[in-house]
Amino acid sequence: MAERFGILAVITQPDRPAGRGLKLTPPPVKIAATELGLPLLQPRSINSQDCVEFLRSLNLDLLVTAAFGQLLRPVVLQLPRLGCVNVHASLLPKYRGAAPIQWAIINGERETGVTTFLMDEGMDTGPILLQRRTEIGPEETFGELEERLSRLGAELAVETVEKLWRGEIEPKPQPPNGTLAPKLHKEDGRIRWEWEARRIHNLVRGLSPRPGAFTTWQGELVKILRTKVVEEGAKPAAPGCLLPRRDRLLVATGSGILEVLELQPAGCRCLSGRDFLNGYCRKGFGRFGD
């Protein structure tokens, strides 16, 4: 896109501490912009007076955002001649908010997509420009779907800019009502074993690889990273109880049987279900969520 349209500046979040050593780490957008030799700005707030004055000096035709993490105030929204475009990872008006990919999987959706829209003062409520749909695989995780949607969104962003420039898009107002995808909190990842197996499986998929669904084992936290629905409707034991299998970590739920394929006990590396059985419950019985 830089070859067809002049990119005057790239704006991203400030460097933040990361990792065990809390080393100051640049965001991926900064790394890419630096490699491409593009002007870079990292304000704490895009709505700050200094940032607004800088943007005003550029005489912008268009401003495009994707997973930026800050709400743009009217003073910024009104700067570009053609408006501000956001690339959002859902089929608006469904899943407005900070975590659309995760909630789509958690809720068992079979289809999602990406939307470009003209930003207004609301949360993902502006007029829709373009959309692209894609199926969600029955075993697809948040990480896998996020990767696919990022590529789809990049393609749609370029198409949107080109068509806006040529005046080939008629923005379509969104209906006032839509579903929400609020920011996830730690407690959202707690597994309730009394739920049906499919619902737990979708929770695990929707939070993998981050932040991770979790339960407890003998009072210690355990992340559940990958699962498989073995049987739906069955009730062979109390929810959370391990079922007697020598080489498979099968767990009873409120309705159905779930196989745990990968998990990570606190302070330990990722384990297969079989390795967990051999190392943590050699007698072959126990209960998650105790």
Mean pLDDT score, 20-25: 88
> Is the model's pLDDT at 255 over the cut of 60?
yes
| Token pair in block for residue 259 | 């196989």
- Please state, in angstroms and rounded to a whole number, the distance separating the CA atoms of residues 218 and 136: 35
Q: Where do you find CATH 3.40.50.170 in the chain? A: 60-165
Judged by DSSP in three states, 161 sits in helix
Q: How far apart are CA 126 and CA 180, in angstroms?
A: 15
Candidate CATH numbers 3.60.15.10, 3.50.50.60, 3.10.25.10, 2.60.40.10; the one for domain 186-280: 3.10.25.10
Give the separation between CA 124 and CA 279, rounded to whole angstroms: 47
Look up the pTM and report it: 0.94
The confidence band for 245, taking pLDDT boundaries of 50, 70 and 90, is confident
Label residue 280 by pLDDT band (50, 70, 90).
Answer: confident
Tokens of 43: 């304000």
Average pLDDT on 55-64 reads 97
Reported as a pLDDT band with limits 50, 70 and 90, residue 3 is: low
From CA 5, how far away is CA 161, in angstroms rounded? 9
Q: In this predicted model, what pLDDT tens digit does every residue of 171-216 receive, in sequence order?
A: 999 998 999 999 999 999 999 999 999 999 999 999 999 999 999 9
Which residues, including other chains, have CB under 8 Å from residue 52's CB and lie 6 or more apart? 46, 75, 76, 79
Please state, in angstroms and rounded to a whole number, the distance separating the CA atoms of residues 194 and 180: 25
Residue entry with tokens 């190392």: 279
pLDDT of 66-105, one tens digit each?
Answer: 999 899 999 999 999 999 999 999 999 999 999 999 999 9
Confidence label for 246 from pLDDT (cuts 50, 70 and 90): confident
CB-CB neighbours of 181 under 10 Å: 24
pLDDT band at 111 (very low <50, low <70, confident <90, very high): very high
Provide the 10 A C-beta neighbour count for residue 86.
Answer: 21
> Sorting pLDDT into bands at 50, 70 and 90, what band is 20?
confident
The mean of the pLDDT values for the chain is 94
Work out the pLDDT band at 279, boundaries 50, 70, 90.
confident
Could you give the residue range(s) of every CATH 3.10.25.10 domain in the chain?
186-280
CATH number of 60-165: 3.40.50.170
Contact 131, 90 (CB under 8 A): no
Does the pLDDT of residue 21 top 90, yes or no? Answer: no
